[in-house]
A and B are shown apart, each in its own frame.
Chain A
Amino acid sequence: AQSVAQPEDQVNVAEGNPLTVKCTYSVSGNPYLFWYVQYPNRGLQFLLKYITGDNLVKGSYGFEAEFNKSQTSFHLKKPSALVSDSALYFCAVRDGGDSWGKFQFGAGTQVVVTP
């Protein structure tokens, strides 16, 4: 079984300030971890992923995430938020040892960046 927790329904941040969106996960095998962003009335867009290697992964639009195995976390970060970063963010996990495995998505975190 696998699960993802995004503990915050909404994150509010002022433009220019650092942005962090939290994600913790549980998976029986090796975790493949992903972040997606969704703008209103759109599908989900891929931001970044962790498969193996360096714990700090960099993705699109200046976002990065840090894989922490001991804390089973994969928090999304951006050093300086933009108003255009306001969107819905989803964390997802799947078991890397199961090629047929489905993704488990978190419930989503709404990010609101104010000018």
Chain B
Amino acid sequence: EADIYQIPRYLVIGTGKKITLECSQTMGHDKMYWYQQDPGMELHLIHYSYGVNSTEKGDLSSESTVSRIRTEHFPLTLESARPSHTSQYLCASRGQGPYGYTFGSGTRLTVV
């Protein structure tokens, strides 16, 4: 069962709208990540956080922003959605030690 939750699973929204993709985890993990995945399959890291009040930009430049006010919550916001933002967004977290990422089910965003 998933211990990391992404809401919504699917979202269709008009150009120019502000949206927030929710990501929450119940495992107490400090490290959290956002990936963008296009239909071409490859994962691109867009944001990450190592704890409360810590946020960093990832390898792929993104117009989105993130916040980390609580350990369990790592929302991603797009101030003005555009069709180029259409993609799947995956949230992940990791605990201390030799562990892998735990991924959420993803949010598939379509901007029309």
Contact = CB atoms under 8 A, between A and B. Distances in A.
Contacts of B96: 99
A92 B98 CA distance: 13
A88 B48 CA distance: 24
Residue among B2, B50, B106 facing the most chain A CB atoms (10 A cut-off): B106
A70 to B, nearest CB: 22
B104 to A, nearest CB: 5
Contacts of B100: 34, 36, 46, 49, 92, 103
Contacts, number: 51
Interface in A64-115: 88, 90, 92, 96, 99-100, 102-103, 105, 107-108, 110
B106 A41 contact: yes
Contacts of B45: 102
A43 B105 contact: yes
A110 B42 CA distance: 11
Interface residues of A, number: 23
A85 to B, nearest CB: 17
Interface in B1-58: 2, 6, 31, 33, 41-43, 45, 48, 50
A92 to B, nearest CB: 7
Interface of B: 2, 6, 31, 33, 41-43, 45, 48, 50, 88, 90, 92, 96, 98, 100-106, 108
